[in-house]
A and B are shown apart, each in its own frame.
Chain A
Amino acid sequence: MIIHHPLLGPRDAAEFVYLGDASLIDRPDWQAEDAAQAFHAYGYLRDNPAGAHQELWYHEQGDRSWLVVTRDTTTHEITQVELARDVARVRGRDK
């Protein structure tokens, strides 16, 4: 697979480490009433879709940026690559 890095251009997927579903950006509030349930769902439960999947890849053998890659799990076709930082900011995170 080739991942089109937003800053570095096309890179071999073997340069990256895969973490998992991009929902891992959305860490729950540890002070909420239902924090235990929310962290259980955050840490252990996955949508695991057959089709488009937003996922976190880390460019360990490169610039060490985290990317959000949108990839079809039935064909491995990559349709979008964004910096995880940008995605997190759009979702309301401050850093």
Chain B
Amino acid sequence: MRYSALRILREGLTGNKGWKPVWREPEPKAEYDIVIVGGGGHGLATAYYLAKEFGHKNIAVLEKGWLGSGNIGRNTTIIRSNYMLPGNEPFYEMSLKLWEGLEQDFNYNAMVSQRSILNLYHSDAQRDAFVRRANAMMLAGADAEIADADQLRAELPFLDFDNARFPIKGGLFQRRGGTVRHDAVAWGYARGADARGVDIIQNCEVTGFDIENGHCTGMQTSRGAIRAKKVAVCVAGSSGRVMEKAGMRLPIESHVLQAFVTEGLKPVIPGVITFGAGHFYVSQSDKGGLVFGGDIDGYNSYAQRGNLPVVEDVAEGGMAIMPMIGRARLLRSWGGIMDMSMDGSPFIDKTHVDGLYFNGGWCYGGFKATPASGFCYAHLLARDEPHPVAAQMRLDRFMSGNLIDEKGVGNQPNLH
């Protein structure tokens, strides 16, 4: 069933009776070639690209709750590729390119909106660092643009340029960055995967892995045992809990990140804006709510809710760059669990157990990575070798010394 303007017109004239559920609810089979553990954005994208680009048919996605009930539905929907290091930037730029063609590719309206992202800088030294970052971005084929304060005054007059403590001196634009309707990403990938024969099995929790002589042959689940030639774990946020069942300790701590949305307002913020002297980022959803967030709470947590000091810190960050948001009333806040890795960068890799693969450690940047993460994970699963842009995202990089530490703060997960 393809979506098109013609079809909407026809359904509108015939009482909308032709719409059907866009994925099946199959019973799990006894065996699959590849089982993906985790039905979030990354897991569904992996299944989609395995089926579409790598020709695999016999695949299942297991989800312990309902489809898209994890971080794919709890994030702040930003897409961008403004990273710097060679182990990261080509990967995120590939992701942004996939976002740009995604809706045509999977024939689903994900509301990809390239409304730009702007990182503000507040000092000469920070400007130099951002120019360097912009150059690194352009070397990887991304777009980047440095705007000075005069340019920003014309475009974004509501910013507090003359703030006494953190005056705004300019910013780094990535015009191709923006936002995406996050739930639709999960639904679109699920629909596309299902149409290509992938079994999406909801309410199916993995309770243990069957590992014999260093080889993973399947798993135990709340809906019975399932055998698989390859088991692909993709459960960021719960990676510690799931990989513990395979006897693995990971270079990851789970932390809670809070997000906030205000009441609906008229259009006031054109793109995504981030504060350079604290941690605050904001965009305006198509419904009008200001969607914003900041730092993680900073202590290990699986609780999906945070504490008040971070709420205050985030609000202070917002007030420092755009005092007008002090007039907006907060509608909701919520928390999600992040895989905070030891260098702030993710993993897409085999494990020491044959047939068991791992994707996780996305810190609080997993959403933008969804398409490339799925594509590169599918590549690894299909060919047993990493995709070139994800080749440095290895689990053993701390042993070998090949860290991908964008912020350069070392093995302190709550500082990344």
Contact = CB atoms under 8 A, between A and B. Distances in A.
B90 interface: no
A58 B151 CA distance: 44
Interface string A23-66: 00000000000001100110111111110010100000000000
B241 interface: yes
B342 interface: yes
A48 B398 contact: no
Interface string A73-94: 1111000000000000000000
Interface in B239-274: 240-241, 244, 249-254
A50 B356 CA distance: 22
Interface residues of B, number: 24
A43 B411 contact: yes
B249 A47 contact: yes
A75 B303 contact: yes
Interface stretch (B108-116, B207-215, B293-301): B293-301
A46 B249 contact: yes
B307 A44 contact: no
B240 A50 contact: yes
Contacts of A18: 298-299, 414
A19 B298 CA distance: 9
A20, A47, A76: which has the most chain B beta carbons within 10 Å?
A: A76
A54 B413 CA distance: 16
Contacts of A12: 309
Nearest to A69: B299
12 contacts: A14-B309, A18-B299, A20-B300, A45-B250, A46-B240, A46-B250, A47-B249, A48-B250, A48-B253, A48-B300, A71-B299, A75-B303
Interface of B: 240-241, 244, 249-254, 298-303, 307, 309, 342, 398-399, 411-414
Given A40-B399, A50-B302, 7 more contacts: A18-B299, A20-B253, A44-B411, A46-B252, A47-B244, A48-B240, A75-B303
Q: Which 3 A-B pairs have the closest CB atoms?
A: A48-B240, A44-B398, A14-B309
